[in-house]
Structure 1
Amino acid sequence: MRALVIGATGGIGAAITAQLKADGWDVTGLSRSVDGFDVGDPAAIEQRMEAQTGQFDLIFVALGILAPVQGAPEKSLSAIKAEDMAAVYAVNAIGPALILRHAARLLPKDGRSVIATLSARVGSIGDNKIGGWYSYRASKAALNQIVHGAAIELGRSHKGSICVALHPGTVATPFTADYAGRHKTVEPQDAAKNLLGVITNLTTEDTGRFFDYAGKEIVW
């Protein structure tokens, strides 16, 4: 079994990579620090994705930022800045969309395959009860729409494909360090096992949907 993990040196991506290898998968990892895979640079995405050959049974996209460097999620409408919102969208929505452009070529036409993209429960419009975090919430909602549309398109040509958005929970990584105080956290290794467990149990009936780390569907 072959897997492509994008964001393979981040907290969750590294744990996913390690667990897959422990389970006997042949894993290809891409990251900015090792491979120059800069998710904010469309040319870099195109170059690295075009270089991938063969077919993958699993493509796991472990990308995301809460806010630009030196920034923070907005607590109010007055805190929104165009350049900050654009930066968050570039990583959380546009980057994954450009990766998905290559999915049809990299997935087997026959048999089961999975594309799993890290989303976040706060990207759910129906679950939003407290507001705030405008750029992050909106970018993840955009990602969810991209995943849903990709699932429909891929389902026409790759009948066994499953394309989903996944919420990992609050994982104890530098990504969440400043914001995890009010939430129960899990270690990256545990998050990886949870997410891979969900992926293992997915069927084609689940494609285009949004699940949490326990396999429970999240409202859009």
Structure 2
Amino acid sequence: MRDVRRLVVTLVIGSFSVAAALGILALLTGGDGFGETQGRVLLTTVVVGVESVAVLCYLAVAGRPAAFVGALGGVVSLVPTGLALWLTWGGSDTAALFEVFGVSVTIAASLAQACLLIALAGRHRFGAGLTGTLVAITVVAAMICLAIVAGEDLGDWYWRLFGVVAILDVLGTVVLAATGASGRRARPVAGEPDLLSPAARARLVEAAHRRGTSPTQVLDDALDALLGP
């Protein structure tokens, strides 16, 4: 899993580096006018950049019990990325094609959001707040997809309900992000023993660097191997 994650990260960085270089080249060689080709190159850079960020979100749960969520997101995200590149470079567009694009990008974005929240919560910590927020994310995504497929004429109460669930989605995301970030920055209280010696911390950081992951992930993997998940 670590080798796969490192390979994916390398591919993401490499592909976006190439796309970024092409975008810069298009901007610098456009001459007095900005042609259609330069615009397509820049749009390609944006599409590849968005996909790269999404893949990094999916990788946040790699090696965890919820890794299947990231794998599903990675597969789904290929659909809007491929369609966006197809449309950018002159592919034929239809209403059905735009519906597929809208639905797939909604699902991919929702899965990316879910992966970040799951990773922020840590291993085996599916509390009420995280579960409720994941349910809200699912409902929001489903309602958006239904609106894309069925049209906007779904009634006033549909959009009122959508607004309520969307607010709960955002609220849960903000609360989980804030509490997760503060928890990660927590310092030992006065008098609490230091569980890791400087030498152990150095070994942990070195192992994380070799494996291309974080010290916390290395420690989690070691505890899982020793004590079981």
**Bigger relative CO (Cα 8 Å, ≥ 6 apart):** 1
Shorter-chain TM-score range? under 0.3
Q: Greater strand share, 1 or 2?
A: 1
TM-score of the pair, normalised by structure 2:
0.23
